[in-house]
């Protein structure tokens, strides 16, 4: 048995002559506390009048549940303004950063306010009625109208299909497509130096081909791209016009024939790729998965079952539609900007020549050329392909605004429109917004750009999933064109008129002359 008393006897007695560390510690804590408290009390004393005079933020009721505007009154005015964005520009000039009346959609507001955008970044719901016109082509259960949870699960599943590994793997094929165009243009210029190129027409063809390769890895030998593009354009124009009741009986029939042809062709492409994928799997080859690979090999996270052929067709069509226009429009706008800013074009030539020394650009080269990136980003600011993006607030919400004295109370089931060009051209966000200045995006200046004001690909939970692919595509084409040519505008600058379709497209194309560099 252990004798406790023997243990106690072995413990040395406490020496009262040793320093009292607890007392020193307590005095130290008291001293530090006084150093912190006294300045705080002094601050409160000097600012008490100001601190006591606090005015609570005013709450503004902006949209009533039943708010609506007669479409018959609004659409003629939109047309007379030259499109929806010019119309919104006029409304914002009259009503300020928040527009809550005279809009063509019920229960809708338009805002140019980075505070509101920031507060709604994680909202992933979209107004179904706004995208209902896409149903004839993308089906009545398409990605554009998925609710936030379903969209988030789907994006998580397919997100890697536009990631770094896929783009690196497909880059050589995409670059070869650009080189094919460059060589064709070079031969035409050598035969006739006064050749004028319709750059939007050329770049849309290029964009369709690269998008098809990234989304579904097509074998172009089995596809007549020009016929495919012609049918695709007819369908997209028909979709856009149909929502405004502009299709007569004949055009309606042609539109339906176009949709049937496109769906049939897309199904054939899917069957072709499924056979190729099965062959690859049987041979034990490993490869990165593109969008199509994921859709045919994974389960739909919404149902837990394999994607139906109809769903695969609709998803593929939706992604092709989005990627096709963004890049195809952005490239000619960038060439237009370079033609109007000779100093920028010279500086970009210098960076390309110094980096490449005559060789073709690698994937990493495009990332490493900082001025090229700045030029493309500034072009997307001045000439954003997208018109607006939208979010649906399903419940009553109070949002902060740029105004220090006002909050914004949003009624349930309200749609918020974010007009992209109006953010990019606002002098409060971008000084001298009309000036093409790539250095806004230089390392030392980009920090001055207010968050949530630059949004060419949308923002937040539903930002364009192919943003990285689009930027790479634009930089690749611009780089290869500038490596070989000087760019000159072959039309009057004032003749560049933007027309709203699925993108802000040059109505009269962008006419460019290419001069071979010595």
**Residue 51 confidence (pLDDT):** 42
Measured distance CA(306)–CA(487) in Å, rounded: 49
Closest CA relative to residue 466, chosen from 168, 218, 155, 171: 155
- Maximum pairwise Cα distance, the chain: 112
Q: Which two tokens stand for residue 409?
A: 């109370």
**Residue 487 confidence (pLDDT):** 98
Helix residue ranges per DSSP H, 357-397:
363-368, 370-382
Residue that is written with structure tokens 């399903």 in the block: 394
Condensed to tens digits (0 to 9), the pLDDT of residues 440-452 reads: 999 999 999 999 9
Helix residue ranges per DSSP H, 217-248:
225-242
Condensed to tens digits (0 to 9), the pLDDT of residues 370-423 reads: 999 999 999 999 999 999 999 999 999 999 999 877 889 999 999 999 999 999
Residue that is written with structure tokens 């109007």 in the block: 340
Asked if residue 80 has pLDDT above 60, the reply is yes
**Residue 22 confidence (pLDDT):** 58
Residue 357 gets the label, from left (phi > 0), alpha (psi -120 to 50) or beta, of: left
Q: How many residues does the chain have?
A: 518
CB 434 within 8 A of CB 124: no
Most confident of 12-21, 97-106, 318-327, 453-462: 453-462
Q: Which two tokens stand for residue 187?
A: 């031969």
CA 445 distance to own-chain centroid: 21
Condensed to tens digits (0 to 9), the pLDDT of residues 260-278 reads: 888 888 888 788 878 877 7
Asked if residue 44 has pLDDT above 70, the reply is no
Cβ-based burial of 83 (10 A; exposed 0-12, middle 13-18, buried ≥19): middle
Residue 304 gets the label, from left (phi > 0), alpha (psi -120 to 50) or beta, of: left
Q: Which two tokens stand for residue 471?
A: 């930027």
- CATH superfamily ID and name for 146-386+425-516: Cytochrome P450 (1.10.630.10)
Q: What is the average pLDDT across 332-340? A: 98
Measured distance CA(55)–CA(402) in Å, rounded: 16
Average pLDDT, the chain: 86
**Residue 259 confidence (pLDDT):** 87
Q: What is the average pLDDT across 62-83? A: 69
Average the pLDDT over each of 130-134, 206-210, 224-228, 252-256 and give the range with the smallest value.
Answer: 224-228
464 is in an annotated binding site: yes
Q: What is the average pLDDT across 209-228? A: 82
Asked if residue 61 has pLDDT above 70, the reply is no
Residue that is written with structure tokens 């923002």 in the block: 459
CB 309 within 8 A of CB 267: yes
pLDDT band at 52, cuts 50/70/90? very low
CB 400 within 8 A of CB 407: yes
Q: What is the average pLDDT across 121-136? A: 90
Helix residue ranges per DSSP H, 47-147:
48-52, 71-81, 84-95, 114-119, 135-138
**DSSP reduced 3-state for 389:** strand
Provide, rounded to the nearest whole percent, the portion of the chain with pLDDT above 90.
60
Cβ-based burial of 473 (10 A; exposed 0-12, middle 13-18, buried ≥19): buried
Q: Which two tokens stand for residue 330?
A: 């952005």
- DSSP state string for 278-289: HHHHHTT-----
**Residue 28 confidence (pLDDT):** 61
Please state the pTM of the whole predicted model: 0.85
Q: Which two tokens stand for residue 76?
A: 């003629």
State the CB neighbour count (10 A cutoff) for residue 297.
13
Q: What is the average pLDDT across 331-348? A: 98
Please name every residue paired with 59 in a beta bridge, in sequence order, or none if there are none: 407
Domain ranges of the chain: 1-128+387-424, 146-386+425-516
Pairing of strands 108-111, 98-99: antiparallel
> What are the CA-CA distances from residue 338 to residues 87, 376, 457 (Å)?
28, 10, 22
pLDDT band at 351, cuts 50/70/90? very high
Asked if residue 8 has pLDDT above 50, the reply is no
**Residue 283 confidence (pLDDT):** 63
401 Cβ contact partners less than 8 Å away, ≥ 6 residues apart: 97, 98, 113, 115, 116, 407, 408
| Radius of gyration (C-alpha) of the chain in whole angstroms | 30
Asked if residue 36 has pLDDT above 70, the reply is no
């Amino acid at each position: 048995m252990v004798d406790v008393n023997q243990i106690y006897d072995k413990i040395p007695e406490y020496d009262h002559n040793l320093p009292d560390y607890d007392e020193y510690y307590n005095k130290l804590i008291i001293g530090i506390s006084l150093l912190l408290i006294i300045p705080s009390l002094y601050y409160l004393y000097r600012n008490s009048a100001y601190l006591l005079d606090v005015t609570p933020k005013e709450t503004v009721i902006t949209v009533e549940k039943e708010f609506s505007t007669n479409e018959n009154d609004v659409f003629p005015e939109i047309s007379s303004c030259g499109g929806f964005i010019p119309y919104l520009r006029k409304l914002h000039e009259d009503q300020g950063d928040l527009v809550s009346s005279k809009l063509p959609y019920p229960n809708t507001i338009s805002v140019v306010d980075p505070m509101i955008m920031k507060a709604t970044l994680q909202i992933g719901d979209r107004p179904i009625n706004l995208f209902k016109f896409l149903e004839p082509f993308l089906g009545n259960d398409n990605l554009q109208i998925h609710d936030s949870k379903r969209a988030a699960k789907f994006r998580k599943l397919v997100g890697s299909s536009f990631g770094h590994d896929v783009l690196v793997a497909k880059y050589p094929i995409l670059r070869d497509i650009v080189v094919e165009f460059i060589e064709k243009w070079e031969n035409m210029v050598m035969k006739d130096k006064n050749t004028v190129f319709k750059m939007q027409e050329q770049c849309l063809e290029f964009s369709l081909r690269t998008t098809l390769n990234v989304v579904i890895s097509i074998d172009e030998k089995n596809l007549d791209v020009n016929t495919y593009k012609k049918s695709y354009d007819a369908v997209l124009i028909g979709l856009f016009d149909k929502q405004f009741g502009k299709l007569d009986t004949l055009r309606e029939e042609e539109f339906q024939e176009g949709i049937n042809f496109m769906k049939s062709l897309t199904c054939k492409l899917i069957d072709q790729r499924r056979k190729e994928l099965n062959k690859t799997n049987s041979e034990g080859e490993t490869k990165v998965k593109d969008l199509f690979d994921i859709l045919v090999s994974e389960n739909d996270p919404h149902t837990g079952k394999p994607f139906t052929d109809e769903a695969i067709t609709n998803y593929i069509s939706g992604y092709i539609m989005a990627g096709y226009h963004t890049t195809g429009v952005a490239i000619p706008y960038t060439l237009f900007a370079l033609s109007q800013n000779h100093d920028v074009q010279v500086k970009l030539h210098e960076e390309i020549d110094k980096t490449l020394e005559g060789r073709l650009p690698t994937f990493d080269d495009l990332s490493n050329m900082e001025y090229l990136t700045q030029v493309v980003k500034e072009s997307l600011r001045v000439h954003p392909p997208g018109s607006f993006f939208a979010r649906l607030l399903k419940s009553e919400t109070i949002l902060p605004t740029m105004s220090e004295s006002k909050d914004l109370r949003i009624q349930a089931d309200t749609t918020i429109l974010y007009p992209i060009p109006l953010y990019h051209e606002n002098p409060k966000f971008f000084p001298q917004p009309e000036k093409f200045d790539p250095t806004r995006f230089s390392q030392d200046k980009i920090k001055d750009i207010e968050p949530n004001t630059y949004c060419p690909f949308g923002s937040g939970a539903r930002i364009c999933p192919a943003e990285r692919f689009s930027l790479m595509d634009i930089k690749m084409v611009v780089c290869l064109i500038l490596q070989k040519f000087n760019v000159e505008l072959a039309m009057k600058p004032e003749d560049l008129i933007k027309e709203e379709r699925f993108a802000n497209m040059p109505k009269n194309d962008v006419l460019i002359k290419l001069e071979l560099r010595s």
